[in-house]
Amino acid sequence: MVTCQSLGDYTANADSEDERLYRFLQEKGLNISFQVWDDEQVDWTAFDAIIIKSPWDYFDKIAAFYTWLDKLETLGCRVLNPVQTLRWNADKIYFKDMQEQGVEVVPTVWLEQGSSFDAEDAFEAIGQEKIIVKPRVSGAAKNTLAIDRSEAEAYTPRINALLQEEPFLAQPFLEQIKTLGEWSFVFFNGVYSHTVLKTAKSGDFRVQHFFGGSIHTPAPPAALLNTATHIVQQFAKGCLYARVDGVELNGRLALMELELIEPFLFLSTSEGALERYYQALLQLLEKEPASRG
C-alpha cells in the first residue's frame, strides 16, 4: 500500500483512513505493508500487487513520480490503479480528453509554462468577475488563488513568477461551491459505493477537510450520480478506486476533477465501504489466495 514520507498537514481534521484500511485488509488475511513511493530501497518486484493509496506529495515531486511510474511499468509490476491511468490523471490537461468525449467540465483557460498571464483575456474567456488560478499538476489547493477582476493587476506578477516554474489553468470561481458545496462520488472497480458533499468553512472557498471544510452524506441527486457513473465507466476502466468531484450547475454535474491517483475515499462515512473496497480488490486480483496479498 503506497504512501509518502509524511502525510503532514493533509491529515489535519481527518480520520486515519490509511490505518483503518490497512487493519481491515490485514484482518481479511491479506499480507500487506505500507511502502513509501520514493524510497529507493524498496524492491517493488517483491509484491504481487501495488495499491496506490496516499502518495500525497507526488505533485511536489512530479518528475520523480513520473520516473517511478516508468520504473514500475518497466519492472512489470501490477499496479492499482494502472500506471497508464495514473500518468494520464496527474496533469489536468486530461480535461481536454474528457471534453472531447462529451463530458461537461468546468470552463478552463490553459496558461502555458513560460507564458505571461493576461488577466483581461482570462476574465473575458471565463466570463466571470472572479476566477480560480491553480497549477495543472496540483493537490491540496497548493498555489491555488481566488482572484477578483479588481485584484488581477496586483496578482499578475505572482502568477507570472509561478508560470516560469510550471503550467497553470484558470477556471471560474463558482459560488455554488460556497453555497451548495462540492460533490464527491466514490467508486470501487467501477461500481458506485458512496457519496459525500463537501462544504467550505465560512469565509473560505477550499472544501478540503484539512482546511476546515465540512463533510455531509446526503443522498445524491439521481442525475448527478448518473453522470458520475458514466464518467467512471468511460475513463476509469480497471481502476480499484475512482472519485468524481463536481458541482451542480443548473441540475447537471460539472466535473471539477476525476481523482484516480491518491484521493481521500471517505471510507468512514458509509457503512460497508471498507468491505466494498476489499471485494473490488479481490475481483481485480482475480480472487487470488489471500495469503498472496
Tens digit of pLDDT for each residue in 28-37?
Answer: 999 999 999 9
pLDDT above 70: percentage of residues in the chain? 90
**Helix/strand/coil for 76:** coil
- CB neighbourhood size of 197 (10 A): 17
**Helix/strand/coil for 147:** strand
Q: What pLDDT is recorded for position 142? A: 77
- CB neighbourhood size of 42 (10 A): 16
Question: Residue 9: which pLDDT band, with cuts at 50, 70 and 90?
Answer: low
Angle at alpha carbon of residue 71, lines to 62 and 23, rounded to 5°: 80
Superfamily of domain 94-104+176-266: ATP-grasp fold, B domain (3.30.470.20)
pLDDT of 179 higher than 90: no
Angle at alpha carbon of residue 77, lines to 72 and 81, rounded to 5°: 85
Q: Is the peptide bond before 81 cis (omega within 30 degrees of 0)?
A: yes
Structural domain 109-173, CATH architecture:
2-Layer Sandwich (3.30)
**Helix/strand/coil for 168:** strand
Domains of the chain, residue spans: 2-82+277-283, 94-104+176-266, 109-173
Average pLDDT of the chain to the nearest whole number: 89
- CB neighbourhood size of 190 (10 A): 16
Question: Residue 166: which pLDDT band, with cuts at 50, 70 and 90?
Answer: very high
Cell of residue 82, nine digits: 494502472
pLDDT of 203 higher than 70: no
Tens digit of pLDDT for each residue in 95-137?
Answer: 999 999 999 999 899 999 999 999 999 999 998 899 999 999 9
Report the distance separating Cα 182 and Cα 147, nearest Å: 19
Question: Residue 290: which pLDDT band, with cuts at 50, 70 and 90?
Answer: very low
Mean pLDDT of 208-226: 77
Mean pLDDT of 135-145: 84
Helix 152-163 / helix 119-126 crossing angle, nearest 10 deg: 100
